[in-house]
């Protein structure tokens, strides 16, 4: 008999809520793979398991006050962020509701009735007209001896924390998108300026060739080539202006404004692209809001599995009620008019057609899904960081190569124009040299743009930038200002 009771207790204990979850982020040991990065050390990593906090100072790393203001404005006005904040309120309300189940439920009520009994039925009351006045209070309390209610409350709390992390992720996404669009706009403006200068130069050259053709110093073929080159450059200018308009429209949506009325002038001023520290440990990804949110959802799924297991246990409910009832208001508060009752009920489901088994299987499947999602997000975060680091390293090398090529191509173009003026070559050589010079100049601008956008992508991939001691800045010939490490 004792062995049977002990076995029953062990079985019941196994059915109570048990919280089993593996929240370790699957990170590779050691730092990220980096090449050609600045020598910045002493990188601060986020504490494992700590709630993420999206850094708000990283926009200042680019040395453009206008960028910082746009990011701040987007965080205040973006509609996606507003929706994310509303989801936080919903999740917190769910937490309050789940915690309420742990407390006794008290209800109070009052009533009055007026009725008449039939006089033609057997055992009719002598007094057929009756009035009844009642005031009563009911108290119901479900004893959480299995821990199911506490498990549901813990799951709701984890979901609320996940909602807060989702809001941080939305803020990070919006901030980095507005920064990437703004930086792209900055370099598109540079590209437009280069194309405008090129259009003006080609128009002047075209008029010069036309004048030479009128006096017989050159052929009509050179005139056609000059016109073609001028029109082609104008078409490229129109395309760059279209791209700028699209970027401004995208920024309007991020800023919570209408694209029909939003306008943004030229960025102007140099952009400082910060150096990336060397030796960043992969653990810094713990500060990524989406990784943290996925971990909290996995935590909630683990609680849900434990709660589902308690469905095989009996539910103990305690109730108490009391009050006064009387046919007359004058006797309402009389001692004999009082009433009360106490009750305890134990409910144990015996057969439900497999409903509890299905609920447990669904909870376990949800846990498996959330675990796979958590690990997938973590691995994707590693990939995003590594891609951004590779893009930054390659971008700096491309800039150096394009700058050297741009200097050479400008000299070739100038020499070709002088040779054509002296009559040594035809205009075909001038067209090719000018086209090459413009193409290399634009490639250099695009390389700077790609480097800036890749740096913003790294900020987002790391969950809001990095914290490192300032290192000696490395001057880059392609930059309008020297690069600095973030504070």
Confidence band for 430, pLDDT divided at 50, 70 and 90? low
Contacts of 229 (CB under 8 A, 6+ apart): 202, 205, 206, 431, 434, 435
Which of the listed ranges 151-155, 160-164, 279-283, 314-318 does the model predict with the highest average pLDDT?
160-164
What whole-number distance in Å separates Cα of residue 187 and Cα of residue 438?
A: 15
Higher pLDDT, residue 5 or 364: 364
Query: Which pLDDT does position 199 carry in this prediction?
Result: 87
- Specify the range with the lowest mean pLDDT, choosing from 100-109, 214-223, 423-432: 423-432
Residues comprising the chain, all counted: 487
- Specify the range with the lowest mean pLDDT, choosing from 107-116, 175-184, 414-423: 414-423
- Specify the range with the lowest mean pLDDT, choosing from 64-78, 296-310, 398-412: 398-412
Q: What is the DSSP letter of 269?
A: S
Q: Which CATH number fits the domain 105-143+314-347, given the four candidates 2.20.200.10, 2.40.110.10, 3.40.190.10, 1.10.3720.10?
A: 2.20.200.10
Query: Which pLDDT does position 365 carry in this prediction?
Result: 95
Query: Which pLDDT does position 301 carry in this prediction?
Result: 92
**Angle, vertex CA 391, rays to CA 399 and CA 284, nearest 5:** 130
What whole-number distance in Å separates Cα of residue 248 and Cα of residue 252?
A: 6
Domain edges within the chain: 18-102+146-312+354-461, 105-143+314-347
Taking only Cα atoms into account, the Rg of the chain, rounded to an integer number of angstroms, comes to 37
Interaxial angle between packed helices 427-461 and 355-421, expressed in degrees from 0 to 180 and rounded to the nearest 10? 150
399 and 447 in contact (C-beta within 8 Å)? yes
The gap from C-alpha 32 to its chain's centroid, in whole angstroms, comes to 22
Which residues are bridge partners to 341 per DSSP?
321
Mean pLDDT of the chain: 78
> Quick one: how many helices (H) and strands (E) in the chain?
8, 4
Contacts of 397 (CB under 8 A, 6+ apart): 36
Statement: residue 26 has pLDDT above 60 = no
- Specify the range with the lowest mean pLDDT, choosing from 34-38, 261-265, 336-340: 34-38
Statement: residue 131 has pLDDT above 50 = yes
Higher pLDDT, residue 261 or 476: 261
Which residues are bridge partners to 377 per DSSP?
none
Higher pLDDT, residue 109 or 283: 109
Query: Which pLDDT does position 185 carry in this prediction?
Result: 93
Instruction: Report the 10 Å Cβ neighbour count for 285.
Output: 26
**Residues above pLDDT 90, as percent of the chain:** 29
3-state helix, strand, coil in the chain (%, to 5): 60, 10, 30
Superfamily of domain 18-102+146-312+354-461: Outer membrane efflux proteins (OEP) (1.20.1600.10)
Confidence band for 277, pLDDT divided at 50, 70 and 90? confident
467 and 43 in contact (C-beta within 8 Å)? yes
Confidence band for 435, pLDDT divided at 50, 70 and 90? confident
DSSP 188-213: HHHHHHHHHHHHHHHHHHHHHHHHHH
In 3-state terms, what secondary structure has residue 4? Answer: helix
Q: What is the pTM of this model?
A: 0.78
Q: Evaluate the CA torsion angle 74, 78, 82, 84 in order and state its sign.
A: negative
**Per-residue pLDDT reduced to its tens digit, 132-189:** 777 778 888 888 888 888 888 988 999 999 999 999 999 999 999 999 999 999 999 9
Mean pLDDT within 380-393: 90
């Amino acid at each position: 008999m004792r062995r049977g009771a002990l076995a029953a207790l062990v079985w019941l204990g196994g059915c109570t809520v048990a919280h089993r979850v593996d929240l370790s982020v699957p990170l590779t040991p050691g730092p990220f793979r980096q090449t050609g990065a600045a020598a910045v050390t002493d990188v601060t990593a986020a504490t494992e398991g700590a709630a993420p906090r999206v850094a708000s100072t990283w926009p200042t790393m680019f040395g453009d006050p206008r960028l910082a203001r746009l990011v701040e404005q987007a965080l205040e006005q973006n509609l996606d962020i507003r929706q994310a904040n509303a989801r936080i309120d919903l999740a917190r309300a769910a937490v309050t509701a789940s915690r309420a189940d742990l407390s006794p439920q008290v209800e109070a009520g009052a009533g009055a009735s007026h009725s008449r009994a039939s006089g033609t039925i057997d055992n009719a009351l002598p007094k057929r007209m009756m009035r009844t006045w009642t005031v009563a209070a009911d108290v119901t309390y479900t004893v959480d001896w299995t821990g199911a209610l506490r498990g549901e409350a813990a799951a709701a709390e984890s979901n609320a924390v996940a909602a807060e992390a989702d809001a941080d992720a939305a803020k990070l996404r919006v901030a980095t998108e507005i920064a990437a669009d703004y930086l792209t706009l900055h370099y598109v403006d540079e590209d437009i300026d280069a194309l405008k200068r090129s259009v003006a130069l080609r128009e002047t050259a075209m008029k010069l060739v036309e004048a030479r053709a009128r006096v017989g110093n050159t052929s009509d073929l050179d005139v056609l080539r000059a016109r073609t080159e001028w029109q082609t450059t104008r078409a490229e200018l129109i395309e760059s202006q279209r791209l700028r308009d699209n970027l401004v429209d995208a920024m309007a949506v991020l800023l919570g404004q209408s694209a029909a009325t939003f306008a943004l002038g030229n960025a102007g001023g140099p952009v400082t692209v910060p150096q990336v520290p060397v030796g960043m440990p992969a653990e810094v990804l713990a500060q990524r809001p989406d990784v943290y949110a996925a971990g909290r959802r996995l935590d909630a799924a683990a609680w849900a599995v434990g709660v589902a297991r308690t469905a095989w246990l009996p539910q103990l409910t305690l109730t108490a009620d009391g009050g006064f009832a009387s046919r007359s208001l004058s006797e309402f508060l009389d001692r004999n008019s009082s009433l009360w009752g106490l009750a305890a009920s134990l409910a144990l489901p015996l057969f439900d057609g497999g409903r509890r088994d299905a609920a447990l299987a669904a909870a376990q499947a949800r846990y498996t899904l959330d675990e796979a999602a958590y690990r997938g997000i973590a691995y994707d975060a590693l990939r995003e960081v590594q891609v951004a680091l590779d893009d930054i390293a390659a971008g700096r090398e491309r800039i150096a190569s394009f700058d050297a090529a741009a200097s050479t191509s400008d000299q070739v173009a100038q020499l070709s124009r002088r040779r054509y003026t002296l009559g040594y070559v035809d205009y075909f050589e001038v067209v090719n040299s000018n086209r090459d010079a413009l193409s290399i100049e634009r490639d250099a601008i695009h390389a700077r743009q790609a480097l800036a956008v890749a740096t913003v992508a790294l900020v987002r991939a790391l969950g809001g930038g990095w914290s490192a001691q300032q290192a000696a800045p490395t001057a880059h010939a392609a930059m309008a200002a020297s690069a600095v490490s973030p504070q």
